[in-house]
Structure 1
Amino acid sequence: MLKFCNVNFKYENDAAPLIENLSFKVHRGDFISIIGPSGCGKSTIFRLICGLEHGYSGNIFINDNDINNLKGYIGYMPQKDLLIPWRNILENASLPLEIRENNPKQAKKEAEKFLETFGLGSYKYKYPKDLSGGMKQRVSFIRTLLTGSEIMLLDEPFSALDAITKLSMQEWLLTQWSSFKKTILFITHDVEEALFLSSKILVVSQKPITQLKEVVVPLSYPRDRHMLSRPEILDIKEKLINELKQRVEL
């Protein structure tokens, strides 16, 4: 569904390339986490997929179509919820539909259905300042979902949440993924989070990025926390942490 073919990229002020001849594939319906130390280029991969960075060579395809020929093909959820403070929750959630359909009334009607589905119907006339961090991230996810895109890029969406809310949101996200059948790429620094959520993990372990090491998570869905204590999962976790620690120490 998503394919990088010999992609090269360098920021203008950098002496060396950040990405060099990178090729990888993502299949429809996958939940894939990308892990790696800070500054290794994880978010740059997302920015290339979104078309927010240019000046690269090689090709990036969505469903065998070059992204340079596509519009509205990606739903992107950043670390911060980026809800507009002067728009209420319903108006925030309906924004991608307003842009796509240019019909604010119909957009709000459709967004209202999703808010009800996600248990936020009673908050539709509240403003972002009135919501908890976890609730704001749910609204941000709904807004991303309403882009209508088959692929969703989630860039450390739970990193700013407290520990208990973060665990709750991980479980909530898996429920939504299994319901809506989207393809998700998820950036995280948290190895345990990656293991709990993902069908596969892509590891950034070198710079420039020439390849992504693929780790298949040997757990079925649905999942619960007890699965993380299985010996094979603990072994993968230890190896991944050691690999990331070695990369940071270089």
Structure 2
Amino acid sequence: MLEFKNISFKYDEDPDFIIKNLSFKVNKGEFISIVGPSGCGKSTIFRLICKLEKPFEGDIFLEGRNINTLKGGYIGYMPQNDLLIPWRTILQNSSLPLEIKGGDIKKARHEAEKMLQDFGLEKYKDKFPKDLSGGMRQRVSFTRTLLTGSKVLLLDEPFSALDAITRLSMQEWLLDKWSKLNKTILFITHDVEEALFLSTRIFVTDGSPIRKFKEIKMNLGYPRKRDMIDTPDILKVKSKLIEELKKGAKF
């Protein structure tokens, strides 16, 4: 579904590379979590996929096609902040990707309303972002990301600003939606337990610059329950992940 092929990247004003000769593949329908220390370049990977940054060298392919040949809307990107527009209602915020594509606004709002209904958000459609809790705003942001129509979704620490209980609830909600939507997800997180609970595979950065990922395959089926990550085998994986993150941390 997605392939990085010998990607290197650095900013023009910086002599050091953030990413160097990075290659990896993501299969259709996977849920991949990317974990690593702050500032190591995880979000840059997403920016490269979205063409917000241009590789110094190498190519990125989506379903076998170089992304440089693709027009807008080929990827769904959900950043850390929900970025809902405060003066637009929840329905108007949700329908924004469809409106940007240049379609009929009435039809776009009808499609967005249907998805809000599917996600149990229909009673909030005429409210404004300020009227919703953090968790509800993130659900709306995810709905808007889905309405791009993209097969691959990039979620950059979408739950990092939420309180602990809301975060757990949102993780379960996201898994439920992913299981029904036939989407491929790349998910950046600093939370080891979050990565263990959500992922089919976990990519751990190997330092700076990022040259490769240390890959951990999660041999857990779906649907998942919380106690599944408390088994001895998964607790060993958790310890290994924490040690890897400590190695790469800068103090």
TM-score range, shorter chain: over 0.9
| Whole-angstrom distance in 2 between the partners of 1:179 and 1:170 | 15
Deviation at 1:153, TM superposition (A): 0.1
User: Relative to structure 1, is the Cα distance of residues 249 and 55 closer, same or farther in structure 2, using a 3 angstrom cutoff?
Assistant: closer
**2:244 is equivalent to residue 243 of structure 1:** yes
Query: Is the 1:205–1:244 contact (alpha carbons within 8 Å) kept by the matching residues of 2?
Result: no
- TM-score, structure 1 length as denominator? 0.98
Instruction: Write the letter of the residue equivalent to 1:31.
Output: F
Deviation at 1:248, TM superposition (A): 1.0
- The corresponding residue for 1:44 is 44
Q: Quick check: 39-48 or 92-101, which moved more?
A: 92-101
Instruction: Write the letter of the residue equivalent to 1:28.
Output: K
Query: Is the 2:7–2:55 contact (alpha carbons within 8 Å) kept by the matching residues of 1?
Result: no
- The corresponding residue for 1:67 is 67
- The corresponding residue for 2:53 is 53
Q: What SS does structure 1 have at the residue aligned with 2:25?
A: strand
Q: What SS does structure 2 have at the residue aligned with 1:208?
A: coil
RMSD over equivalenced CA pairs, Å: 0.9
| Whole-angstrom distance in 2 between the partners of 1:212 and 1:15 | 23
- The corresponding residue for 2:221 is 220
Query: Is the 2:30–2:185 contact (alpha carbons within 8 Å) kept by the matching residues of 1?
Result: yes
| Whole-angstrom distance in 2 between the partners of 1:249 and 1:206 | 10
| Whole-angstrom distance in 2 between the partners of 1:24 and 1:127 | 40
Alignment of 1:59-138 (within 5 A): 59-71=59-71, 72-138=73-139
Deviation at 1:31, TM superposition (A): 0.1
| Whole-angstrom distance in 1 between the partners of 2:57 and 2:24 | 15
Instruction: Write the letter of the residue equivalent to 2:83.
Output: L
Query: Is the 2:8–2:56 contact (alpha carbons within 8 Å) kept by the matching residues of 1?
Result: yes
CA deviations over 1:83-134 (Å, ceiling 9, x no partner)? 0000000000000011124211000000000111111101100000000000
- The corresponding residue for 1:201 is 202
| Whole-angstrom distance in 2 between the partners of 1:148 and 1:73 | 8
Identical pairs, percent? 65
CA deviations over 1:26-56 (Å, ceiling 9, x no partner)? 0000000000000000000000001000152
Alignment of 1:16-35 (within 5 A): 16-35=16-35
- How many pairs were matched up? 250
CA deviations over 1:188-241 (Å, ceiling 9, x no partner)? 000100000000000012111111111001111000101011001000000110
Instruction: Write the letter of the residue equivalent to 1:221.
Output: Y
| Whole-angstrom distance in 2 between the partners of 1:243 and 1:150 | 31
CA deviations over 1:160-200 (Å, ceiling 9, x no partner)? 00000000000000000001010000000001000000000
**2:8 is equivalent to residue 8 of structure 1:** yes
| Whole-angstrom distance in 1 between the partners of 2:105 and 2:122 | 18
- TM-score, structure 2 length as denominator? 0.98
| Whole-angstrom distance in 2 between the partners of 1:249 and 1:149 | 36
User: Relative to structure 1, is the Cα distance of residues 211 and 88 closer, same or farther in structure 2, using a 3 angstrom cutoff?
Assistant: same
| Whole-angstrom distance in 2 between the partners of 1:237 and 1:84 | 38
* Structure 2 unmatched runs, 5+: none
Query: Is the 1:4–1:60 contact (alpha carbons within 8 Å) kept by the matching residues of 2?
Result: yes
| Whole-angstrom distance in 1 between the partners of 2:132 and 2:144 | 16
| Whole-angstrom distance in 2 between the partners of 1:153 and 1:56 | 21
Instruction: Write the letter of the residue equivalent to 1:95.
Output: L
Runs of 4+ that moved beyond 4 A: none
